[in-house]
Structure 1
Amino acid sequence: MTAGAVMAAEAGAPEGIFLFVPHMADLVWGTLCFLVIAVVLIKYALPRFNAVLDERTAKIEEGLALTQRAQEEQADAAARAARLVEDARLEAARIRERAQAEADSIIADARVEAAAEAARAMESADSQIQADKQAAQISLRSDIGLLATDLAEKLVGEHLADAELSGRVIDRFLDELEHTPVSPAWSARAGAVR
C-alpha cells in the first residue's frame, strides 16, 4: 500500500462504498441549509416568479384577445367592403339603366322632332309646289291668251280692240284647251322637255 492509503486507513477514512455515504453531521447540516434556502425561495422568490408569470400570462391573453378582435374587425371590414362594392355595383347598374332610359327618351324625342320637321318640310314643299303650279298656270294662261289673241287677229285679219271680247275669246279657248284630252305623243314631248 502506499503511504497516502496507509494514512487514510489509520485516520478512519471510509473505504469502498462508504466513500459515497456522507457523515451524519454533514447530512443534518446540509438538510437544514436546504430547508432554509427552500423556505426563503418559497416565501420571497416564488411569489415574485408567480407574479411575473401571471403578468406574462395576462399580456399573452390580452394579445390573443386583441388578435381575435383584430381578426373579427378585419372580417367585419371585409364584409363591409364587400357590401360597399355590391352597393356600388347596384348603383352603377341603376345609373346605367337611367342613362339608357334617358338616351332612349332623347332618341325618341329626336325622332318625333325629326318626323315633325319632315312633315313641316313636306307641307312647306307641297305649298310651294302648289304656289309654283298656280303661278305657272297663271303665266301659261296669260301667255296662251296673248298667243290666242295674236292668232285670232291673224285669222280674222283685224286687230281686236275690244278688251272684253278678247278676254272672252281667250277664256273660251283656255276652257276648251283644259277639257281637250292630251294625246300620248304630246305627253311624251312634255315629259322630255321637263
Structure 2
Amino acid sequence: MEVLAPKPMETLAAVLCFLVLLLVLTRRLLPRINRVLEQRVDAIEGRRERAETLLQEARETREALERQLAEARHEAARSRQRAQEEGAELMARLRAEGLRERQALLARADRELSAERVRAEAELRGDVVTLAVTLAGRLVGESVEDVARNEAVIERFLAELGPRPVGPARPD
C-alpha cells in the first residue's frame, strides 16, 4: 500500500506548485482573459447595436422609397389620365376638322358638278340646234340654209319649254 500513500514532501511540493500556479493565474492570466472577454462582449454588443441601427435606417429608407414609389405611381396614373383626356380631345378635334373638310369637299364637288352641268347643257343646246337643223333638212328633203334664223326659232322653242330640273331623269 505504499503506492497509494502520498509522501508529505511531495504533497507539500504539489500544494506549493498549485498555489504558485493559482497565484499566477489569478494575478496575471485571469485579468487578461477577463479583459479579452469584456472586449469581445463590447464588440459583440456594439456590433449588435450598430446592426440594429443599420436595420432601423434600412427600414426608414425602405419606407421612404415606398412612399416615393407610391407618389411615382400616382403621378404616372395622373399622367396616363391626362394623356387619355388629351387623346380624346385630339380625336374630337380631328373628327370635327375631318367633318369640316368633308363638308367643304362636298360643297366644292357640288359647285363643280353644277358648273359642269351648265357647261354640258350649253354644249348640248348647241348640238341640239345643229341636229335639229340637220333633221329638219332631211325631213324636208332640202338643205336648210338660214341657220341663224333656225337657231333663233330653236332658242325660242327651248325658252318656252322652260328650265328643266337638273338631276337624274325619273321614269314616269
Shorter-chain TM-score tier: 0.5 to 0.7
Could you tell me which residue of structure 2 aligns to residue 77 of structure 1? Answer: 61
- For residues 106 and 23 of structure 2, the distance between their equivalents in structure 1, rounded to whole angstroms, comes to 120
Deviation at 1:152, TM superposition (A): 6.4
2:94 aligned partner, one-letter code? A
- Structure 2 residue runs without a partner (length 5+): 2-10
Alignment partner for residue 144 of structure 2, among 140, 146, 159?
159
Which structure would you say has the larger RCO, counting Cα contacts within 8 Å and 6 or more residues apart? 1
- For residues 158 and 117 of structure 1, the distance between their equivalents in structure 2, rounded to whole angstroms, comes to 56
Pairing of 1:106-125 with structure 2 (within 5 A)? 106-125=90-109
Pairing of 1:164-183 with structure 2 (within 5 A)? 165-178=149-162
Match of 1:191, SS state, is coil
The alpha-carbon distance between structure 1 residues 118 and 162, as it changes in their structure 2 partners (threshold 3 A), is closer
- Structure 1 residue runs without a partner (length 5+): 5-25, 183-187
1:191 and 2:170 aligned: yes
Deviation at 1:78, TM superposition (A): 1.9
TM-score normalised by length of structure 1:
0.61
Could you tell me which residue of structure 2 aligns to residue 88 of structure 1? Answer: 72
TM-score normalised by length of structure 2:
0.67
1:56 and 2:40 aligned: yes
- How many residues in Structure 1 have an aligned counterpart in Structure 2? 158
- For residues 71 and 44 of structure 2, the distance between their equivalents in structure 1, rounded to whole angstroms, comes to 40
2:41 aligned partner, one-letter code? T
Deviates further, 62-71 or 131-140? 131-140
Percent identity, aligned pairs only, is 34
Deviation at 1:46, TM superposition (A): 4.2
The alpha-carbon distance between structure 1 residues 141 and 162, as it changes in their structure 2 partners (threshold 3 A), is closer
The alpha-carbon distance between structure 1 residues 145 and 35, as it changes in their structure 2 partners (threshold 3 A), is same
Deviation at 1:33, TM superposition (A): 9.1
Alignment partner for residue 137 of structure 1, among 118, 121, 135?
121
- For residues 146 and 170 of structure 2, the distance between their equivalents in structure 1, rounded to whole angstroms, comes to 37
The alpha-carbon distance between structure 1 residues 71 and 162, as it changes in their structure 2 partners (threshold 3 A), is closer
Give the CA RMSD over aligned residues: 3.8
